[in-house]
Structure 1
Amino acid sequence: MFPPASARQDADAPIRATDSDASLARLSAVKKGYLTDPFIAHFVPRAQSQPSRPPLINIGTTIRSESIDDLVESWMKLCILEGLKCQIVSLGAGSDTRFWRIATGSHKDLVVKYIEADFAEVTAKKAMTVKKSSTLMASLGDPSTVIIGGGGTTLSSPVYNLLPADLRKPPAEGMQAVIELLDKDVPTLLLFECVLAYISPELSSALIKHFASYFRDSAPLAGIVYEMFGLEDSFGRVMKNNLKARHVDLQGVAPYNTKASLPQRFLSLEFTMAKALTLFEIRRQYLSEEKSKSMSQVEMLDEVEELDLVLSHYAITWGIKIPEGEKFKSYREAHSPWMNWELHTIGSSKSESIDSA
C-alpha cells in the first residue's frame, strides 16, 4: 500500500531532483561544445548563468547521450527498411529533449506517436515550459491542436503527448493512459534512462511485460535501458551510500551485478534479442578517432582512472521482441537487420545523429 500523496511528494522530491542533475549536466556538455542540443536551455532555469560541470561529468554525459541517440537512430532506420512508421514511449522522461531533436531532423515524419510520462510535478513543469516557448511549440503542429489538461499536468498534440504517471503502480493502472494512445500494429520503442533503478525489479519486469503483452502478436517492441549496475563492489557501495544520504534508494539494481546479467532484463521476458555495453567499453571501442580527438581538445581531464571507474558502473542495454508468426519470420532470421540492431561507431563525420539534426 502506498503512503498518502502528501508523504509521497516529499519522498519523491530527491528522485525528481535527479532529473535536474541530468539536465544541468547536459546543458554543461552543450555549453562546452561536447554536444549539440538547441533545446536543452529551455528546460533549465537561468540556463545562461549555470556553472559548468567537471570534465568527468561532461564526458560521461556525452558518451551516454550519443550512444542512446545512435541506438534510437538505428531503430528508426530498421523501420524505414520495412517501410514502417514507429512510436516512441519515454518513461521517466524528465526534461529530455529527444522529441524536439527528432521533430526537427530528417526522420520527423517517421514517428506517429511520441509519449513521455513522469511524475505529475515533472510533467506540469514541462507542459508549462513547452506552452510558453514558441520554439518548442513550433514542433507540435497547429497550436489549436495542443491541449493542456489534467490540471496542467498533461499536454496532448497530434504526435507528442506528455502524461503524469507513477511507474510504481501496477502497469494495468499506471500505464493505461499511455497504452490507449498507442497503435498496437506500429513498431514501438521504450526508453528508460536512469529510471528502473528507482523501482523494484518486480515492478520493472511487470512494466516491460505489460507492453510486451500488448504488442505480443502485432508489432516489434524494442527497449533501451540506461542504468548504473554492479554496485556490490567498494565503488558501488560508496555510490549507493551517497545517494542514500540524499534519500534516493536504488532498489532496482540488485539483480544486475554484472554486465552479463543486464540482457536478462529483456531475455527473461522472452525478448528475441538483447545486448549490453558499459560506457567504459563504448568510450574505448566505439568512439571514432575524430570524436575522441575533439573531446580531448575541449578541456583537460586529469581524473582518467576515476572516469574509467565511473563509466564501468553504467551501461546501456537494448533488446527487441519480435512477434511470432509468418508475417515476422524474416525479422527473426539470424542475418536480419532486426536481430543485428547494434551500436555503431560514434562521432564519425559521415554518421547522422539525432543530436546533429
Structure 2
Amino acid sequence: MLPPSRAQAGDAPIRSTDNDAAVARLSAVQKQYLEDPFIKYLVPRAHLQPPRPPLINIGTYVRSSAIDVLVDQWLELSAVSGQRCQIVSLGSGSDTRFWRIAARRAGPLKQHMQTYVEIDFPEITTKKAMAIRKRKDLMAGLGDPNGVLLAQGGTALHSPQYYLLPGDLRQPPSELLEPMLFSPRENGRAAILDPSLPTLLLFECVLVYMSPSSSSRLLEWFVQIHKRARTGALGCIVYEMFGLNDAFGRVMINNLRERQIYLPGAEPYPTSESLLDRFLKTGFSAARALTLKEIRKSYIPSEELERTSKLEFLDETEELDLVLAHYAISWGLLLGNSDMNATWGQWGLKQQREV
C-alpha cells in the first residue's frame, strides 16, 4: 500500500473521532441504554474500554434513538410505496446500522432495502473490512460468503446488498461518487445505485469537518442526480454540533483544536433555522431540525425516558441540557413529483408529549 499523502496524514485527528463515537456507543450499550450486539467487534479491545460518563451515554442514546426512528420510517414508507430503497452512509466510520437493520428486520420489511452503501477514508474502510471478514456475526449479515469480496487492495468490500467503499468526500462528487455509485460496473453489472429508487443519505458528524462549499456541493450533486430521475424520493439526515458562537461553543472549539480537530462546517450554522436553510438552499423541498435537548424532552416515548432515567444517576441536568442544545438532527426531503407527498410527506420525528 502506498504511504498516505500529506492531506491524508493531516486527517488523522478527524479519523480519530470515529473511535470516539464507537467507544461512546459501546459504553451506551454496556450501560443498557441501547441494544447493539455488533459494536464490540468494531472497537479495539472492547472488553477493556472504561464506561463513559452518564452525560455522554445519554447524548449517544438520544442521537441513536432518533436516527433509528427516521431510518426505520424510511424503510417502512418504502414498503408502503412498493419500492426497494437505498441507504448511503457517508463518513460511516464504525457504524453498525446495516447489521442492526438486518438483525431487526429479518422479516419482509428488510427485503425493501435494496442496497446499503458506506463510504469513508480508506484507512477506516480497510480496518472495517478486516473486522467484517474476521467476525462470523458480521459476515452472516452479508448473506452467502461466496458473494462477499474484498476489492481495491482491501480498502473496499462488496456483497449483494452491502458495499463498503473508500473515498474522500471533499473531492468533487462528479469525479469521486458518480463513477463509484452511478456508473455501470465491469462485466456488464448495473451501477450500485439507481436514482429512481427512494434513497436516504446519512451524515453523522461528517459535514461539520468539511468546508461549507464542499458540503453544499455534495448535497447539490445528489439533488441533481435525483431530480433527473424525476420518480425517486431523496431523503437526508444530518447529525452534528451547531450554534458554537457562544461561550460553550468556544470552549468546545478550543478543546478540539488542542487535538488538531477543526470545525470549518460549523460557522455558517448558528441556529436551528440555519440548519434548515442548508437543505433548502441545496435543492431540497422540505426540511426540519431539532436539537437533542428538544428530542429528549418531547420526542422520546415516556416509557423509554423513564427506563433510561433509572440506568445511571445524573446530577448535572443543566450541563446535560446545555450540551444537548448544541447538537441537532436535521432532515431534508426531495420528491420526484407531488403525487408522492401523500406517502413520503409523513416522514419525520413525531412529538410524543407536550412540555
- TM-score scaled by length of structure 2: 0.92
Matched, 1:173 2:183: no
Q: Which residue of 1 aligns with 2:156?
A: 154
> In angstroms, what is the RMSD of aligned CA positions?
1.3
- Residue identity opposite 2:292 in structure 1: L
Count of residue pairs brought into register by the alignment: 336
- Residue identity opposite 1:282 in structure 2: I
CA–CA separation in structure 1 for the residues paired with 2:335 and 2:269: 24
Matched, 1:297 2:310: yes
Matched, 1:229 2:275: no
Correspondences of 1:179-258 after superposition (within 5 Å): 179-180=182-183, 181-216=192-227, 217-258=230-271
CA–CA separation in structure 2 for the residues paired with 1:329 and 1:231: 37
> How far 1:9 sits from its partner (Å)?
2.6
2:339 to 322, 330, 338: 330
CA–CA separation in structure 1 for the residues paired with 2:101 and 2:62: 19
Q: Which residue of 1 aligns with 2:299?
A: 286
> How far 1:218 sits from its partner (Å)?
3.3
Q: Which residue of 1 aligns with 2:350?
A: 344
> How far 1:23 sits from its partner (Å)?
0.3
2:275 to 262, 270, 274: 262
> How far 1:214 sits from its partner (Å)?
1.1
CA–CA separation in structure 1 for the residues paired with 2:329 and 2:182: 25
CA–CA separation in structure 1 for the residues paired with 2:164 and 2:17: 19
Q: Which residue of 2 aligns with 1:129?
A: 131
Provide runs of 4+ in structure 1 moved above 4 Å.
none
Correspondences of 1:77-156 after superposition (within 5 Å): 77-106=76-105, 107-156=109-158
Q: Which residue of 2 aligns with 1:308?
A: 321
Q: Where in structure 2 are there 5+ consecutive unaligned residues?
A: 184-191
Bigger drift between 186-195 and 5-14 goes to 5-14
CA contact (8 A) 1:273 1:339 kept: no
Q: Secondary structure at the match of 2:340?
A: helix
CA contact (8 A) 1:280 1:311 kept: yes
CA–CA separation in structure 2 for the residues paired with 1:149 and 1:32: 37
CA contact (8 A) 2:156 2:166 kept: yes
> How far 1:339 sits from its partner (Å)?
2.1
Q: Which residue of 2 aligns with 1:33?
A: 32
Q: Which residue of 1 aligns with 2:55?
A: 56
CA–CA separation in structure 1 for the residues paired with 2:37 and 2:321: 29
Bigger drift between 112-121 and 265-274 goes to 265-274
> How far 1:345 sits from its partner (Å)?
5.6
Q: Secondary structure at the match of 1:215?
A: helix
Q: Secondary structure at the match of 2:240?
A: strand
CA–CA separation in structure 2 for the residues paired with 1:65 and 1:329: 31
- Residue identity opposite 1:142 in structure 2: D
CA–CA separation in structure 1 for the residues paired with 2:112 and 2:48: 36
Q: Which residue of 2 aligns with 1:45?
A: 44
Q: Secondary structure at the match of 1:317?
A: strand
> How far 1:252 sits from its partner (Å)?
0.5
CA–CA separation in structure 2 for the residues paired with 1:268 and 1:6: 34
CA–CA separation in structure 2 for the residues paired with 1:55 and 1:178: 40
- Residue identity opposite 2:245 in structure 1: E
